A and B are shown apart, each in its own frame.
Chain A
Amino acid sequence: MTTSQIMIAVIVPALVKILVMIGFVFNVGALLTWLDRRQGAMIQDRVGPNRAVFKLGKFELRAAGLLHTAADGLKFFFKEDFMPPKADKLLFSLAPMVVMIPVLAILAVIPFGDTVCPQSLWHVTKDGHMIFPAVTRLGVCGADPANNIFPIPMQIATLNVGILYVFALAGQGIVGAALAGYSSDNKFSLMGALRAASQMVSYEVVLGMSLIGAFMLYGTLRIDEMVRWQGENAWGVFVQPLTFFVFFAAAVAESKRIPFDLPEAESELVSGYFTEYSGMKFGMFYFAEYMEVATSSMLLVTIFLGGWNLPFLHRDGLTISFGTTTLVHQLLPHIWVTIFQVLTFFGKVLFLCWFQCFVRWSLPRFRYDQLMKLCWKVLLPISLANIFLTGIIFMAIDNAGADVAAGLKIAADVTQALVALTITYFVLRGIIGFIRPSKHTPWVVGSSANQAELAGGSKESPMQA
């Protein structure tokens, strides 16, 4: 192959990967603006967004409020772009961009699938048949430019420093909020920015410290290697349960959402550091928050929930084994496994996004001193203790001999089986619920209606109370 062909073989997959990641995050971000409101409405017994309507003659399309996403986007573009007269014009315009950049740049190191060997995707035999071969379970196909072999890692940039890159970018997120608050020339904005800066600086320490235990087990900083470790052993959430919860809390705090939304507490600070923003500049702050939900979900999935791995599905196919006894071993074509793994990764990310929205509507906001106490007096000591404990247990297991190692292998396989059973149960429940929905009660009788009845009104029309 010539140099230009090699360039194409390297650049085209890179561009496709960037398009996949950016496209996913933008679409999920837009979807989340709807999901957050719709789910909040369902949790709080309201109707939720339903006014946006597409009308063509007698045809009406409401799509359960999904059109609000498009309507909001259009509105952002046509609203007046107001700037406070005494604001610092340059910094005021710069702040939304500075907020967006780190959120998007984190996508570069998130692996969404195992390395693809393009040579092994399909073969065409001499008599015109197509065969889909399987690849080996371990050992990623090495790059071999002489024989035109370019394995495609499903990750935009395979950095040696891996997760450190994520921390480096997470630190930049504060700057955008600080700039927005300072340049707005508004005391509420400034207070919001101060809160944002102190909160994010504090929780960033926890974010870094909590992961050290996980690094010690995985033995690497490369995110794709972490996912591979989890596929061969057990998922991170089973080997480092404490870390998972601490990291989850810190990640929610970093994205400044309820229960950690002190910087934009609407009952105290109007809307915090972006009070003065309008139009698409406000839209960028708003949208960056939802994209941060998506990227933090991706990080959680890759570090703790096995990334692209499904239980028992490996690179070479399906292998159900406990310890050394193998129950099922079925080779599967490389192309199918790859597609399935990529879908698995994005499915897990969507699940965690939903879960973060669920958390948002379930918990009340912390008070400021509670927030700081939680960070410095609870989460940080827990993560330090976790490092210590992990070190001791790791050393004990290393010196314990083959029997313990075999026992742990079985335990790891049991966790995989547990995950498989849980997923199967919920998928079946979902299918059954979709085919035969549970019966609707004719009246929505919530707690408020019961109270109204106690106060003398009737249960059916609580307004009379």
Chain B
Amino acid sequence: MESIIHLGLLGLLSVTAITIIRLRTLFAAVMLSSIYSLVSAALLVTLDAVDVALMEAAVGAGISTVLMLGTLSLVGRKEKRPVRQPLLPLFVVVVTGAVLVYGTLDMPGFGAPDNPVHRHVAPRYLQESGREIGIPNVVTSVLASYRGYDTLGETTVIFAAVVGVLLLLAGGSRHTEQNEVLGAEQSATFDDRVILRVGAKMLVPFILLFGLYVQFHADYGPGGGFQAAVIFAAGFILYALVFGLKVAQRVLPPAVVYLCAALGVLIFAGIGLTTMAEGTNFLDYHALLRDPQDAQVAGIMLVELGVLVTVFGAMITIFYVVAGRRRSRP
């Protein structure tokens, strides 16, 4: 039964992907890639990766679609008819695919419990984390405690990407016209769309509330700082899309958002330094409180807060920069 569901979802993904290649209307391609993300999130749920599915749905179907649409309004929606011969790329792709399939023949079978991947550190996480960390969600334990270094690294990478985007786009272009992509013109046109405005007003608080739930319930269910940040950002971006960039920037000024992106990394690294100052290893939360389980839970909560602040700041910064970009003259 399960493999039929897998097959069905993978079939949908393949059809969507092939349609995306064939379409030359980029707007439709972006919308389809959003659907692709949503279907792959469903597949991730059937593969037991609930945390990842939540992330994929929020990022793929939410944030990256908005960013891509913002870019399309700046660079044009039509793809030119391809002039190149597709034979050489096709050959490369077929050969690479054949080599990869040949590689899977030596792989251990799908889902077997004695696969090498399940016999290394994973059993320890599953058996000991309940006692050592004291929270049921093993993914959160591994993410924020056992592998806190990795997560600090990832958070720093996101911060670096924000700095990169700001360096590329914050300067403003030389040839400008007075129309922002999602700015003033849109807030004027949306004034009369009552359903959209009322609908958004009703949805936004619930999206933000759900973000809080995902953040603080991460110990017991799927969720965590990354997911909560993206859901928060999606809720805020919805507000900005309907009510205009100017209003959104009055609620949350760009300077505050830039600060957020840096502040989260500081919180995360600061906890690491605090534990070092207390005489234990970097990010070893036992120094924070006397009871080892309480210390772990407190450490995880603070670290997740750092992740939330940075990722939220990063997503909103990128949105502000792309959406506030003025269209250059053709």
Are A and B bound to each other? Answer: no
